[in-house]
Amino acid sequence: MLQKKISKVPMYLLVVLWAVISLFPFYWLAVMATRSSAEFFRYPPVMIPGDRLLENLKSLLTVIDFFRAILNSLLVCVAKTGSAIFFCSMAAFYFAKFRFPGRKFLYSFILFTMMIPTQLLMIPQLIMMSKFGWVSTLKALIIPGMIPAFGIFWMTQYCTGAIPDELVDAGRVDGCSTFRLFWNVGFPILIPGVAFLAIHTFLTTWNDFLWPLIVLNNQKVFTIQVALGQLQGMHTKTDYGAVMCGSLLATLPTIIIFLCCNKFFIAGIAAGGVKE
């Protein structure tokens, strides 16, 4: 028994080392959020927190409307996450458990859209948003991404292995409608997979920068990533302390959400990777 424990020591040390390496950028971000811009380029780097957190926070709130940007990002993330959970789960349930004309073609077409680089779609999307009058509105961020192709793909794979065909057949015998089969029979079983999709969609939307930068030109609707990007263009000398302070505060919501849903996140990945 002792020999087995000793043999695992290198593996534990490797895990601890990897954890330290992974967490170090966040620690350095927290340290620099309490330091001045001059100390940002010091060598050797500063590793101990300073006493300029309040000054950097004041500078951040003076330059950009930080809390409005946070609220805008939360609205976009919640709307896109909620719609992805509902529509992707419903589409995946029908793709996985029903046979209908054109099913394979439609599913293949959805997979094909995942292969198209996002950058190639931005100009056509921008033209469409301009035609609809949605430029510089949150609708331009929410509606085009309400039903992500990855969400349908992920939930279809999860649904195929998680929901037995016999359970669906039993629901049909009991007289369930098609939607009721999904909502009362399928959806409760899909919760772990839905949790993974929710976290993935929220984090991807929260960290999105390029599309909001292109389609938004009004500071009142800036998301947090675009607002932080303005810190380097509004002054001749960038206040790196304010940039780091804003980046630290913008990271906290994603960390909180991940910690709260960590169990479902891991369970969703594990269950989705197993086929019975």
- The pLDDT of 164-168, averaged and rounded, is 90
- Residues with Cβ within 8 Å of residue 50, at least 6 apart in sequence: 31, 34, 35, 36, 39
The confidence band for 7, taking pLDDT boundaries of 50, 70 and 90, is low
- The pLDDT of 141-167, averaged and rounded, is 92
pLDDT at 37 over 50: yes
Tell me the pTM. Answer: 0.85
Under a CB-based contact definition with an 8 Å cutoff, are residues 265 and 150 in contact?
Answer: no
Which of 240, 241, 213 lies closest to 225 in space, CA to CA? 213
pLDDT at 11 over 50: yes
H-state helical runs in the chain: 2-7, 9-32, 53-63, 66-83, 89-97, 103-114, 118-132, 139-142, 149-162, 165-173, 178-180, 191-207, 210-215, 224-229, 240-260, 262-272
Q: What angle do CA 6, 10, 15 make, to 5 degrees?
A: 125
- Whole-angstrom Cα distance, residue 137 to residue 230? 18
pLDDT of residue 231: 82
Q: Which two tokens stand for residue 222?
A: 């800036």
pLDDT of residue 218: 87
Domains of the chain: 53-272 (1.10.3720.10)
Q: Which two tokens stand for residue 191?
A: 């919760």
